Structure 1
Amino acid sequence: MAESPEMRIFHLLREVTVEYGLRQAEFATRNGMHPTDVRALICLLDAERAGTDATAGWLGERLGLNSAGTTAVVDRLERLGHVARSRDARDRRRVLLTVEDRAKELGRAHFGPLIDGTVALLGGFTEEETRGVRRFLTGVRDLMDGDDGTPGAAGVSS
């Protein structure tokens, strides 16, 4: 039976996410980290780009970790020199997390060619095509954010 064009696109998206996950795991291994550490760095970099204050509680929510698990991740990343803790100047009770330049440099060295290639690829798209890609990826992300938490609900089926 022939696949629908929509299912072919879904399977391509799944291939891309699997391959990207493998590259994240390779980066983690190469730099003495756990894959969750890499996910934490990505969350913290996203927060920085969005101008969001990142606390351990905020990070734990994004990673789906309890307080002890989040502390272990932050401790590992701090020990490796990838993350810094600092008191919030507006509320000294809060501790903010930031990604150190060293971690950004490591990430750029590993993922830079992929980032540059992706940006170049998108540069060849029309504005309308770029809007379509953004709308599709945003929609998929929003579907996953609305996931009911059931294992495999994000599409492990054929």
Structure 2
Amino acid sequence: MTEPRDPSSGYWYGSDDQSIRAVDVLNGLRRYRKAETAMRRRTRESMKMGETDLLALQFLLQSKRGGGPVGPRDLASYLGISSASTTVLIDRLVRSGHLERHPHPTDRRALILSTTATTDAEVRATLGKMHTRMLAATERLTADEMRTVLRFLESMEEAVDVIDEHEDGPSDTAPLPSPRQRAATRR
């Protein structure tokens, strides 16, 4: 049996074989999250943007593929920021050449936001090879392994989305809506 690679992060778990294997999985997940965080930092530095800017572009690029128009209110809702912050964000992305504002086709008071062609090319150049490697790693899994990984990730999402009751904190222990549920409510 292998020992956990980072036993210090498993100090509150049991020492039986099942717990050791579970801690190995959690440590693997932590290493992945650390690598992903570093990748996001490198991407932000490469594109000279903040995290919110990248999240906004990601949302707009995904919406573009989905065909639905996105307005400032949609973007604010997705990012969980105020309308004033959204205006500042949009202005910044327009100035940097990543975003364009267009009049809404049916509501003259509203705007539609879209990424520029250069934004799509820049994101692909910055992240394309990494996404290809990630897809290749996923495609090496069998269908059963994919279902197991998905079940695990959904369970982990549920585990971390629960707000635990604390003496000085909130008393709501209901889980937050999943990204899938949040996306469904935005449609």
Q: Deviations over 1:109-149 (max 9, x none)?
A: 121121001111112111222233334334545666x555x
Per the alignment, residue 11 of structure 1 pairs with 27
Alpha carbons 1:24, 1:38 under 8 Å: kept = no
Call closer, same or farther: CA 1:38–1:87 in 2, change over 3 Å.
same
Measure, in 1, the Cα distance between the counterparts of 2:159 and 2:60: 22
Measure, in 1, the Cα distance between the counterparts of 2:162 and 2:94: 31
Measure, in 2, the Cα distance between the counterparts of 1:87 and 1:38: 23
Per the alignment, residue 63 of structure 1 pairs with 79
Task: Give the count of matched residue pairs.
Answer: 150
Per the alignment, residue 86 of structure 1 pairs with 102
Per the normalisation by structure 1, the TM-score is 0.76
Per the alignment, residue 137 of structure 2 pairs with 121
Matched, 1:97 2:113: yes
Call closer, same or farther: CA 1:45–1:141 in 2, change over 3 Å.
farther
Measure, in 2, the Cα distance between the counterparts of 1:62 and 1:11: 30
Per the normalisation by structure 2, the TM-score is 0.66
2:123 to 107, 117, 132: 107
Per the alignment, residue 43 of structure 2 pairs with 27
Tell me how large the CA RMSD over aligned residues is.
2.8
The structure showing larger relative contact order (alpha-carbon pairs under 8 Å, at least 6 residues apart) is 1
Moved more, 134-143 or 122-131: 134-143
Measure, in 1, the Cα distance between the counterparts of 2:77 and 2:104: 19
Matched residue SS, 2:107: coil
Per the alignment, residue 44 of structure 1 pairs with 60
Moved more, 113-122 or 12-21: 12-21
Q: Deviations over 1:40-65 (max 9, x none)?
A: 11222232334443221221122221
Q: 5+ unaligned residues in a row in structure 2: which ranges?
A: 1-13, 164-168, 170-187
Call closer, same or farther: CA 1:120–1:74 in 2, change over 3 Å.
same
Measure, in 2, the Cα distance between the counterparts of 1:143 and 1:90: 43
Could you say which structure has the larger radius of gyration? Answer: 2
